[in-house]
């Protein structure tokens, strides 16, 4: 949902107990490209433990390659999240999109509630959280979550480091559109799929007001403008464009074509037209808006 790229040097925190446990998939999935060995991961975990007062007595650490999952909730709950959410999402995202793992070993902090999240984010990273739900910080090589708000943000944020590793020049609209798609996700025929979610109401309201920009304008937004005053509407439009592509069996093709065409089509707009087989994008948008208005989210 949010990415923090720059941050002051972190201060050491006051976390406690780490029980190191390995989730079932201790081997990177097929197509993984990092060169980290078991020894590298072991060294990383040892350093993580040593950086915490009292050897992190309140925390459980689970190795879930290419991540290390760290949580202060019940140990079984942390282990379940490492397998049922992190492993599940990584396996399916790599199956459909990503051939390369992140360049670094990344830590996923699963704070058990709002109090814990706010307290430890300040103590560990020397600043207040930038979102009530969670965010990805490339600077800190970490995904930082208030897991009490649900697992959707976690899956969303997992997309970002993989996109960074596989499509570093991806524009914000598609980076957030794809990540937002999987905020509400499920498995269909062995593939991860997005379902309708709370962003639908924002988009339907904008459609009713005639306030949805053209896809040419959306795809042309730079990072600053995408995250600007119209951020919520931009997220919603980008998400439901990805949802449309998914439901018409075009999303995986679009991703691969966009990556292949990125030098000649950095915004992805021409590739979008090609994948949709559309020359009249105004007519397509009208049709897409009518389709969006038929969608529901209970």
Q: What is the pLDDT along the chain (298 residues), one digit of tens a residue?
A: 555 433 322 222 222 222 333 333 333 343 445 689 999 999 999 998 887 656 778 889 999 999 999 999 999 999 999 999 999 999 999 999 999 999 999 999 999 999 999 998 988 888 888 889 999 999 999 999 999 999 999 999 999 999 999 999 999 999 999 999 999 999 999 999 999 999 999 999 999 999 999 999 999 999 999 999 999 999 999 999 999 999 999 999 999 999 999 999 999 999 999 999 999 999 999 999 999 999 999 8
In this prediction, residue 54 carries a pLDDT of 67
In this prediction, residue 56 carries a pLDDT of 72
In this prediction, residue 14 carries a pLDDT of 22
DSSP state letter for 71: E
| Range 50-62 burial, b when 16+ CB lie within 10 A, else e | eebeeebebbbbb
In this prediction, residue 28 carries a pLDDT of 36
In this prediction, residue 260 carries a pLDDT of 98
Strand intervals (E) in 13-54:
19-22
CA dihedral 113, 111, 15, 18 (to 10 degrees): 120
Name the segment(s) of the chain with CATH classification 3.40.30.160: 19-166
In this prediction, residue 124 carries a pLDDT of 86
In this prediction, residue 33 carries a pLDDT of 55
Architecture of the domain whose range is 19-166: 3-Layer(aba) Sandwich (3.40)
In this prediction, residue 8 carries a pLDDT of 29
What is the spatial distance between Cα 181 and Cα 152, in angstroms, rounded to a whole number? 10
In this prediction, residue 10 carries a pLDDT of 26
Q: Whose CA is closest to 91, among 141, 12, 158?
A: 158
In this prediction, residue 205 carries a pLDDT of 98
């Amino acid at each position: 949902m949010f990415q923090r790229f720059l941050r002051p040097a972190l201060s050491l925190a006051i976390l406690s107990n780490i029980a190191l446990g390995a989730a079932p998939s201790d081997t990177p999935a097929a197509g993984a490209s990092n060169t980290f060995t078991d020894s590298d991961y072991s060294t990383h975990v040892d350093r993580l433990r040593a950086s915490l007062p009292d050897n992190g007595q309140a925390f459980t650490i689970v190795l879930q390659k290419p991540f290390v999952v760290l949580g202060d909730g019940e140990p079984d709950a942390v282990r379940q999240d490492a397998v049922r959410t992190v492993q599940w999402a990584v396996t399916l995202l790599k199956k459909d999109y990503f051939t390369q793992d992140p360049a670094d070993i990344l830590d996923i902090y699963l704070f058990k509630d709002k109090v814990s999240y706010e307290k430890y984010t300040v103590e560990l990273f020397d600043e207040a959280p930038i979102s009530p739900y969670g965010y990805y910080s490339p600077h800190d090589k970490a995904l930082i979550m208030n897991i009490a708000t649900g697992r959707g943000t976690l899956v969303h944020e997992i997309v970002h480091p993989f996109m960074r590793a596989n499509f570093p020049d991806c524009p914000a609209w598609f980076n957030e559109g794809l990540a937002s798609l999987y905020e509400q996700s499920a498995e269909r025929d062995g593939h991860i799929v997005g379902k309708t979610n709370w962003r639908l109401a924002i988009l339907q309201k904008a459609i009713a007001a005639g306030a949805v920009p053209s896809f040419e304008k959306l795809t042309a937004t730079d990072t600053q403008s995408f995250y600007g005053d119209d951020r919520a509407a931009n997220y919603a439009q980008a998400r439901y464009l990805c949802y449309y592509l998914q439901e018409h069996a075009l999303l995986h093709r679009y991703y691969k074509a966009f990556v292949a065409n990125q030098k000649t089509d950095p915004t992805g707009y021409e590739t979008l037209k090609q994948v949709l087989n559309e020359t009249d994008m105004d007519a397509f948008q009208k049709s897409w808006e009518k389709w969006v208005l038929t969608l529901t989210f209970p």
